[in-house]
Amino acid sequence: MRIVLVCMPWQALEFPSLAIGILHERARRCRQPHEVKGLYAHVRWAEYLLERSGGRVTSKEYTAIANNGIFHGIGDWIFSPALYGVPEWNVEGYTQYLRGVGFDPSLPTELHRWTPDFIDTLADEVLAMEPDLVGFTSTFMQNVPSLALARVLKQRRPEVLTAMGGANCDGPQGAALHRNHPFLDFVVRGEGEQTFVDLLDALTEQGRLEAIPGLCWRDGKGVSRVNVERQGAFPMHDVPAPNYDDYFEQLGRSSVNGFIHPLLVLEGARGCWWGEKHHCTFCGLNGSMMKFRAKPPELIWEEMGRAIERYQTLDIIMVDNIIDMKYFKGLLPHVAASGWDLRIHYEVKSNLTREQIQTLKAAGVVHVQPGIENLSSRVLKLMRKGVSGSQNVQVLRDCEEHGLTVAWNLLYGFPGEEPRDYAGIIEQMPAMVHLQPPTGALRIALERFSPNFSDPSLGFGDHRPAAFYPFVYDLPEHELMDLAYLFDTVSLGLTGEAAAQLERAAARWKEAHANSELSYRESRGRIHLRDRREGWPEQDSVLASPFDVTLFHALQRPMSPAGLTERLQQAGLSVTAEDVSARLSDWKARGWVFEEGERFVALPTRANPQNVRVSISQLQEAQSR
């Protein structure tokens, strides 16, 4: 069979598709040989936008929609005319919705009217490849673009088979997509590595469709049939290294090549070892398969090395939802010793030690997503994060010190949280402006597969598909209930002015960060503090007494006043609990320590000559010379 696997918008332009790369190689496990080709249509869409707009709509505008449109379905709505075969679809209602949530609808509305022509042009390209089967991978806003192309392909050449898989097809979502879109011949629910192979074998008379777990298919009358879901997690040692030849070849001759810096997308692990024990209440990212499993460190290192050499790319995105802790000894030291000047992204848990952060840095990890989510220990407990607020501040400090960029959101809206949980946090945010701020303070979304969604006792039992879905799909609400990933529900926890106060405080932190520094250096047994935080007096201070120096060192990790007193006494210092409490109170007033949950942690970062902060005024002055 000749198979074309398509990656539709709104995949990030700099990312090849991991799913296509893996399935390209998994097809080799079939009983008969197949010809597999990947088509990176998200790059084609960027080319189309650039040409049709006369250079006005670039990869920057594409990326803005891809990054910011998920929670409002912008990318899906843009392609809805192509799905329904009309010039435009629900324009008045949806543009009103976008204005209501703070988005300018002008660009989405313009692109909306271009998509039928783009899909027709893309269908020409796909059909010219003479495929027997066209497969789509769908995550987040790839649903409607994929459905639109599948409809046109089936309309023009009914004998071409269409199949769809990916995160948007997990559980009831996949069944809903299949039964409501008759131009989809097959939908794969859950992990597709084995189901895809079994499907290709069945299509070449090497198996029966009804016997393939995880497959949706159609009987002789075109009726949707939904097989039982596949049981058990697919073993990671059987997941092949992805083949990205088609992506790099197509990008290399693309008109948008000069705008895109490609990255390698690699996978060492699936599932979440923390979620297996304590599923964070708001998180639905692991879908129906939480079980954690990882490739052996030596295998992922071998795959990483081959990919770097083959594609001559040093920027790597590890898509693991959480790093395998074995990699700190079995993988990262090998990467550090390689001599490659890598730039790696990893998702980690936020209770990392300073030594673990040093290991990440040495291996070339420059960007981490540690799942900080909040700085209140009580709220973190409500969401089952398994860390404290002071631990989260410590990891922010240590990542800042080692030059690691941290991506995090300050989430609120958890049942049981109260304004008092945030009062102390908001009060101390000005002291932390030198540390990397959250993207913003955001109310949690209700996601399918999260405990908040599946467990009504948590308070979100009354929910409905998010407000944008009826503008995107021509489906009744009961079908959208199965198809949707995001849901609207009652606002719990922080509301009104209390929520607005938190959002304003986070915004001020974000604004002040670039011009702020609170650092220290040690010399001859003394600690020299340099304070250049926005909103604080410019000040240089010296800690010289054994009491102050020992206390400062002890505060590199969160500790209680009682624990600090004991630590200082063990060091031979004659101090009382009152002495320690008085000093902590003074240092908190100066913004040198963070206090939360009866724990204190130091805020200054060790001075790093490579991390130079220049104020906006200094930069403007330099540019004017």
Q: What is the pLDDT of residues 240-270, one digit of tens each?
A: 999 999 999 999 999 999 999 999 999 999 9
User: In which band, very low, low, confident or very high, does the pLDDT at 623 lie, cut at 50, 70 and 90?
Assistant: very low
pLDDT at 610: 55
Asked whether the predicted pLDDT for residue 353 surpasses 60, the reply is yes
Mean pLDDT across 30-53: 97
Residue 215, helix vs strand vs coil: strand
- 518-606 has the same fold as 263-447+491-514: no
User: In which band, very low, low, confident or very high, does the pLDDT at 494 lie, cut at 50, 70 and 90?
Assistant: very high
Asked whether the predicted pLDDT for residue 539 surpasses 90, the reply is yes
The neighbour count for residue 18, using CB atoms within 10 Å, is: 20
Q: Are 196 and 188 in contact (CB under 8 A)?
A: yes
pLDDT at 287: 85
Mean pLDDT across 551-566: 98
Report residue 585 CA to chain centroid gap: 38
Spatial distance between the Cα atoms of 35 and 21, rounded to a whole number of angstroms:
14
Q: Quick one: what percent of the chain has pLDDT higher than 70?
A: 97
Mean pLDDT across 369-383: 97
Which is nearest to 452 in space by CA: 281, 286, 287? Answer: 281
pLDDT at 243: 98
Mean pLDDT across 294-317: 97
Q: Where are the domains of the chain?
A: 2-237, 263-447+491-514, 518-606
According to DSSP, the β-strands at 215-218 and 224-226 are antiparallel
Q: Quick one: what percent of the chain has pLDDT higher than 90?
A: 96
Asked whether the predicted pLDDT for residue 483 surpasses 90, the reply is yes
317-328 pLDDT, tens per residue?
999 999 999 999
Spatial distance between the Cα atoms of 422 and 401, rounded to a whole number of angstroms:
26
Asked whether the predicted pLDDT for residue 625 surpasses 60, the reply is no
User: In which band, very low, low, confident or very high, does the pLDDT at 616 lie, cut at 50, 70 and 90?
Assistant: very low
Q: Which two tokens stand for residue 249?
A: 């070849």
Beta-bridge partners for 317? 265, 345
User: In which band, very low, low, confident or very high, does the pLDDT at 609 lie, cut at 50, 70 and 90?
Assistant: low
Q: Are 518 and 604 in contact (CB under 8 A)?
A: yes
Spatial distance between the Cα atoms of 396 and 400, rounded to a whole number of angstroms:
6
Q: Which two tokens stand for residue 158?
A: 């009914």
Residue 111, helix vs strand vs coil: helix
The HSE-up count of residue 386 (CA atoms within 13 Å, CB side) is: 15
CATH class of 518-606: mainly alpha
pLDDT at 619: 34
At the topology level of CATH, where does 263-447+491-514 sit? TIM Barrel (3.20.20)
72, with CB counted inside 10 A (0-12, 13-18, 19+), is buried
Mean pLDDT across 339-347: 96
Spatial distance between the Cα atoms of 545 and 539, rounded to a whole number of angstroms:
19
102, with CB counted inside 10 A (0-12, 13-18, 19+), is exposed
Beta-bridge partners for 226? 216
Mean pLDDT across 272-287: 94
Spatial distance between the Cα atoms of 610 and 402, rounded to a whole number of angstroms:
10
Asked whether the predicted pLDDT for residue 622 surpasses 60, the reply is no
Instruction: Write down the mean pLDDT value for the chain.
Output: 96
pTM of the model: 0.95
Mean pLDDT across 137-141: 97
According to DSSP, the β-strands at 526-531 and 539-543 are antiparallel
Which is nearest to 293 in space by CA: 357, 236, 334? Answer: 236
Mean pLDDT across 463-491: 98
Mean pLDDT across 383-404: 97
